[in-house]
Amino acid sequence: MYPVWVYAIAKDEGRFVNRWMDSMSEADGVYVLDTGSTDDTVAQLRGRGAQVTVEEISPWRFDVARNRSLALVPEQPGICVCTDLDEVFHPGWRKALEEQWRPGAGQGRYRYTWSFRPDGGEGVVFWYEKIHARQGYRWVHPVHEVLQWTGEGTPGETVTLAGIQLDHHPDPAKSRAQYLPLLELAAREQPDNDRCAHYLGREYFFHRRWQDAIAALKRHLSLPSALWPDERAASMRYMAQAYANLGEDGLARVWFHRGVAEAPHLREPYCDFARFLYERQEWDGVLYLCRQALAITSRPQSYICQADAWGSLPWDLAAQAYYQTGRIPQALDMARKALEQEPEEPRLIRNVELLAAMAGKG
């Protein structure tokens, strides 16, 4: 079997070193590019056996840093595993990788939990592809960087690596302020790149820059390469919410409808629209959209996946709508199912207690 190497970038992440090195210990080698830590990250990593190079990347770009860290890995056939120090593999990942990797493969996709709820349950979950063959790949885009094939001919197949689970436990105090200027840079560098256009519009939305978000997301939808329904629907959903925040309810409804029509196989468009109607007390609409959402039982494997759509939200909204329309038994049933998703949530517990009392089933 090929050797397996882990590589990463790091800066001021001393609190994560031991946990990360424990998780990555199944690899044949660990290579880290430290980009200017002022804490003991470098000393800790070296003390645990990682090979560390210190280099400042200026101006900062994630793709440049990733490529410099990849360059630290030996130049011979092997499998590269790119992670960050706030990520942790479940034990046994090396064995699962060796059992499923095939000669000639290019990348491996595995399950990634990007966020967790306060009660410890999974939040956003999707499948990642940061395991790859040593030769023929480089990172592109200043932020939200991805692997690009640069070798001769066509890249090898992407292998699905069942049983490999990577968890993300980030530092909540770490700022993401650098993301917006880097996304604006990415859009300038590659104005026809649909992925960069969508991410920029989404970032404007996160910053509550509603008009900028709408303009960027419309540009995303206008690009000839913007063909993926899931991402198109996400742009439409963000636009709808931006219009709602601007008080343009009519345009918000148009884009919510378009988002549902674009990706009727996803829960997220239905849930966002249902929440909009809930805020306007349109109970029959809420019930219809929640039923449509709950009929979808296969969670998407892409990053177009919102934690609330796969948690208590659709059950909870349906319970509220049934209650508001006087259907207490149905409301109780939905409330109990919402509580099953988040059994420690005080508000959901109280909802069940109150509805049970009203239904005479306390």
Decide if pLDDT at 118 tops 90: no
Mean pLDDT, rounded, of the chain: 96
pLDDT value at residue 361: 61
pLDDT value at residue 176: 81
- Residue 348: closest CA among 327, 318, 326: 318
Instruction: Determine contact, residues 163/96, Cβ cutoff 8 Å.
Output: yes
Q: Are strands 79-82 and 4-10 parallel, antiparallel or unpaired?
A: parallel
- Model-wide pTM > 0.85: yes
pLDDT one-digit tens code per residue, 146-205: 999 999 999 999 999 999 999 999 988 877 889 999 999 999 999 999 999 999 999 999
pLDDT value at residue 174: 79
pLDDT value at residue 172: 82
- Residue 305: closest CA among 124, 82, 179: 124
Dihedral angle, C-alpha 20, 22, 27, 32, nearest 10 °: 40
* Higher-pLDDT residue of 361, 54: 54
pLDDT value at residue 153: 93
Dihedral angle, C-alpha 339, 345, 348, 349, nearest 10 °: 90
Q: Which residues pair with 149 in a beta bridge?
A: 137
Decide if pLDDT at 362 tops 70: no
Q: What value does the mean pLDDT take over residues 296-308?
A: 92
pLDDT one-digit tens code per residue, 119-160: 888 999 999 999 999 999 999 999 999 999 999 999 999 999
Q: Are strands 137-140 and 146-149 parallel, antiparallel or unpaired?
A: antiparallel
Q: Which residues contact 136 (CB under 8 A, 6 or more apart)?
A: 106, 149, 150, 151, 152, 155
Instruction: Determine contact, residues 216/196, Cβ cutoff 8 Å.
Output: no
Please count the other Cβ atoms lying within 10 Å of the Cβ belonging to residue 10: 27
pLDDT one-digit tens code per residue, 250-259: 999 999 999 9
Q: How far apart are the first and last CA of the chain?
A: 61
* Higher-pLDDT residue of 288, 301: 288
Decide if pLDDT at 310 tops 60: yes
pLDDT one-digit tens code per residue, 326-351: 999 999 999 999 999 999 999 999 99
